[in-house]
Structure 1
Amino acid sequence: MTKVAVTSMTNQQLPYCSVNHFLYSLIRSSRVYRRGLITQLLKMFDNDSSNISSSLTLEEQLFVADNLAYFPYQVQDEPLFIVEQIDLSISVIGSTQLQQFRDLLKQHLDYIDDDEGIDMNKLENKLYDVSETIINELNQCLRLTKPTMLLLLLKSYLKDVYYLNDTKIIEYDHTESSKITDRPILTRKINVKFEPKIILDTIKPINTYDTIQKRKQLIKEFADFKRYLLAFDTDIEDTIQSISELLPASFSTSKGKKKGSGSSRRRKVMIDSDDDSVNGDF
């Protein structure tokens, strides 16, 4: 982990900071440079299954996520830009990964999954009858979803620490003038650890599971991924409508069209601010 807790002479704990805290502080004042760095760091979570050798390990991606969580952000544009880029990435990668696992379930288990709940008993019974080769293939597919989970947990952490509600996220536009986006961060939570337990459990030394435990663990990991990925904010349209009602008619119409069309083109993954990544309970 990259978080470093600094304790002052009075034993009062200061906020956690990243290993690359100083590097980021050098370029933070330039919106172009800091966004360039953030964009390149987020690209490190794009695992290309066709070229595994060029992808980072999950441990390395956790190191990058730690730095993104603890960078010394000073203006609202910084965490909002990260959240926006995560949404854009997840809207494409997440649904593809979920569909790939569903295809394997249909191919090997004749189990059809949808956006509703998982029939645990039915899926568990079917898994008992398949070979270890198929179980390993399913586990490998789930392994590729871990970077996506890590991004979702990072987003949830930033929302919680910097009080980024859904209204702020929907209204944010990175193309606006820096006078608008570079407003100072006035409130934030301090000494909140970024501890994505699901990811930490994955990179621990592999436990020796028996046949039944291995299959139950596979179902649990699939259920966790599906739960986080499909945790969309169902109140997005209501939020946009409530905002529009507070604006002049001409402005609210154009604003509503802009934001409404964006939300209909892609699915925005929204995780509640009181997410498990903050307190470590999953």
Structure 2
Amino acid sequence: MLDPSMNKQEDLAGSVTNAIDATLLTILKTYYRLCRTSSEKQTLIEDSNLMRTLCDNAADKRPQVALYVCKILLALSRDQTNSSHLAESEELKKAIANACEVDYVSPQVVNGLLIVQSRILNADKNPSYGHAHTKANRNKLNKQYVFKFHHPNEMQKTFIEKSCLEVPGVISVCFQPSSYGLRCIVRCKETVDARDIANQILSGDDYDMVQLLVRLEDGSQQTLEFYRDEEEDDKKCLQKELPQYLDDNVECFDPSQCVLTKEQSEQQQQHGSSWFSLSALKFW
């Protein structure tokens, strides 16, 4: 026969465990709401109690606990600046890696933790972009041009994309629908000129004119137009025979106007006579 006192102890232990589980779950839900609504996520990342709770329960066998740990980490790592702060915690990295390896964690949680792990690793590999003004620092390395086209078909879009990518220094090309048709956003290096891209598009048979959107200092937009005949005029100018300009540092002479040519000078030097003595003989 079982001792009734033992049953009471088991019931009491079970109720205490359930109370602890409920308290932990309540704490995690509260932290999750803060992570979703707070704009100061760095303050939450610096909370040692929160980070300790996340590390200890990332691979928890209780499904709800592991799920909310995953949700909190996803919310905290959404921004790359915050991901770089999370990357500073080696303990968190180990906890996430361990949680992805165990077999009792649900696939949903594992998928979320893998996303968090990817964000942290990417932030850790790019420390120069790690903290403040990440996007601004990246944009300093390149610039973008915005061309507009009136409802091009799929073949024309393919030609535009191919033409832009053939220009040296172009990084990427994407299209964006607009009220007047389609925007073509070209991201490129600082050395690329808009005319080079426009001329490459005009080299085909689909367009005689390309429009470039330019934003002025007052915020308004202006449209610049590049025409095919302008490109042809430029080519004709380059094909014309231009005058040859002499460098001031280059000494040029006409042999017929010289008292003594270079060949005569070399011959006389071989025989030991100077050009001055020979030229003087013509006058005396």
Q: Sort the TM-score into its range (normalised by shorter chain).
A: under 0.3
Select the structure that is richer in helix: 1
* Larger of the two Rg values belongs to structure: 2
Q: Which has the higher strand share?
A: 2
Choose between structure 1 and 2 for higher RCO, CA contacts under 8 A separated by at least 6 residues. 1
Normalising by the residue count of structure 2, what TM-score does the alignment of the two structures yield? 0.25
